[in-house]
Amino acid sequence: MKTLKNFSVKGKNILLRVDLNVPILDGIVTDHIKILDIKPTVDLLRSKKNKIFLISHFRRPKGKFVKKYSIKFLRENLIKILSIDKIYFAASCNEDDINKQKKIMQPGEVCLLENIRFHEGEEKNDIKFSKSLAKNFDVYINDAFSASHRNHASIVGITNYLPSLAGFFLVDEIGKLNKLLNNPIKPATLIIGGSKVSTKLKLLNNLVKIFDTIIIGGAMANTFMLSQGINTGKSLVEEELITDAKNILNKSKNFNTKIILPVDVVCAQGLEDTTNIKNVGIKNILAHQMILDIGDNTIQLIKSAILQSKLILWNGPLGAFEHVPFNYGTNKIAEVVKTDVQKLNIITFAVGSDTIAAIKKTKAEKYFSYLSTAGGACLGWLEGKESPGIKALRRNNFF
């Protein structure tokens, strides 16, 4: 795969695919990490006197112009975070709007293109749209690993018509994930949570071969407990995946991987029930109760496993973390990282927006070695699947 590290691009019109699908609250960007991620690539391209056109998706407008999904408002954030005096804006990704900005831009300047998903051809990976987009530029650079699992025109299609490179952040993300998969520091522990086994089945089947210990929490643990004959009351379960859960538990024995399931849980009659909350052993769950968090003994069990590890990968909250007090277990595990892990030089990875949101609530983010905002792209890679966008870069032979 050709990258900015081994190819010099000077004085060109560059289409730079980035991910500016940032979190917003009341019109304000609440986390600038995705903008910071692209700064090294933008800085280098500017220093080489290229004209840089940033292209990104934002939310799901489904191929039509939707005013509330315009990304024009991001210009001020980009100017501030990227330390640039001025950023131009093209009202669409059409040739006329792009050429209008080209004429007034100077080498080393940056233009933000309007939301690529306003164009119907983007998500369809339409050949005609890919060609029409490509003819406006000299070189395409992908620095959006988090969008590279999408078979879209600005990720895959365009690489058929332009010399294409990987940006610094994309290369860095892949490097870290590959090191995690191919050469993990031992003993390595996976903490995996969330609501459904179905969304993590491929991930578990791949990582059970790699990690020494796998801790399963969240609602997905309910299906594993049910597969072991434990009554889970009215808890969320996926009964159709009981056999799959059993297979993963059996597979773990073949690879000498230790699986840790909850030994006690926090139950209530529902998410809104704050008066009948009980911490009970897994054999004492009542028929009318729901499991909504891990219990105190399970927290201690997980803490012990973490402190005996050299590497941690965490994906998914361990309870209904959006609802107090069922965020307690997830918060306590984040606090273990905050207070103990750094002192012991344990490498810590966290993947997924819910996981990172939970970590940030406890102000523990700076104690993690690596936080990935790549979501589905990252999980797909950890499942052992190479992203369509990365395959497209590898196939590109224009240089």
Same-domain check for residues 191 and 142: no
**In the prediction, which pLDDT does 374 show?**
83
Please provide the size of the chain in residues. 399
pLDDT score of 210: 95
Both 188 and 128 in a single domain?
no
Q: What is the pLDDT of residue 361?
A: 86
257, pLDDT greater than 90:
yes
Per the domain annotation, does 84 fall within a domain? Answer: yes
155 & 202 share domain: no
Cis, peptide link before residue 325, omega less than 30° from 0: yes
Within-domain flag for 7 = no
Instruction: For residues 33-51, give the mean pLDDT.
Output: 96
The percent of residues above 70 in pLDDT, for the chain, comes to 100
**Mean pLDDT across the chain, nearest whole number?**
94
Confidence of residue 90 (pLDDT cuts 50, 70, 90): very high
Q: Are residues 242 and 366 in the same domain?
A: yes
Predicted confidence (pLDDT) per residue in 190-229, tens digit: 999 988 888 899 999 999 999 999 999 999 999 999 999 9
Q: Rounded CA gap, 202 and 215, in Å?
A: 16
pLDDT of residue 25: 82
The tokens describing 186, both together, are 């031992």
Residue 169's pLDDT is 96
Same domain flag for 117 and 234 = no
246 and 352: one domain?
Answer: yes
Q: Is 176 helix (H, G, I), strand (E, B) or coil?
A: helix
Same-domain pairing of 226 and 332: yes
Of 142, 170, 198, which residue is a domain's last?
A: 170
Please tell me the predicted confidence (pLDDT) of residue 379: 87
Note whether 159 and 198 are same-domain residues.
no
Please say if the pLDDT value at position 309 is more than 90. yes
**Gap between the Cα atoms of 390 and 2, Å rounded:** 11
Question: What pLDDT was estimated at residue 394?
Answer: 96
Q: How confident is the model at residue 75 (pLDDT cuts 50, 70, 90)?
A: very high
Q: Which of 138, 170, 202 is the last residue of a domain?
A: 170
Number of domains in the chain: 2
> Alpha carbon of 112 to those of 19, 79, 192, 373: distances in Å?
12, 11, 37, 21
Percent of the residues in the chain that have a pLDDT greater than 90, as a whole number: 83
pLDDT tens, 337-381? 999 988 899 999 999 878 888 888 889 999 999 888 787 899 899
Residue 82 predicted with pLDDT over 90 = yes
79 belongs to a structural domain: yes
Is 300 inside any structural domain? yes
Distance CA 89, CA 53 (A): 9
Phi, psi angle pair for 192, to nearest 5°: -130, 130
The label of the residue with tokens 């949101």 reads 357
Question: Does residue 135 share a domain with residue 91?
Answer: yes
Per-residue model confidence (pLDDT) at position 360: 87
- Mean pLDDT across the stretch 13-23? 96
Determine the pLDDT at residue 81: 97
Q: What is the CATH number of the domain that holds 131?
A: 3.40.50.1260
Asked whether residue 389 is domain-assigned, the answer is: no
Tokens read off for 361: 């609530």
Identify the band that residue 51 occupies on the pLDDT scale cut at 50, 70 and 90: very high
- Reference 5, options 29, 40, 39; nearest CA is 40
Give me the pLDDT at residue 183, please: 87
266/295 Cα distance (integer angstroms): 5
Claim to verify: residue 85 and residue 222 sit in the same structural domain: no
Do 52 and 10 meet the contact criterion of CB atoms below 8 Å apart? no
Domain that includes residue 315, residue range:
184-381
Same domain, 146 and 219: no
Q: Residue 195: inside a domain, yes or no?
A: yes
pLDDT band at 398 (very low <50, low <70, confident <90, very high): confident
Kindly state whether residue 4 falls inside one of the protein's structural domains.
no
Residue 163: is the preceding peptide bond cis (ω within 30°)?
no
Same domain, 212 and 304: yes
Average pLDDT for residues 297-315, to the nearest whole number?
A: 96
Which one of 145, 170, 195 terminates a domain? 170
- Is it the case that residue 83 has pLDDT exceeding 90? yes
Structural contact between residues 356 and 350, judged by C-beta atoms closer than 8 angstroms: yes
Does residue 18 belong to any structural domain of this protein? yes
Model confidence at 61, pLDDT cuts 50, 70, 90, reads very high
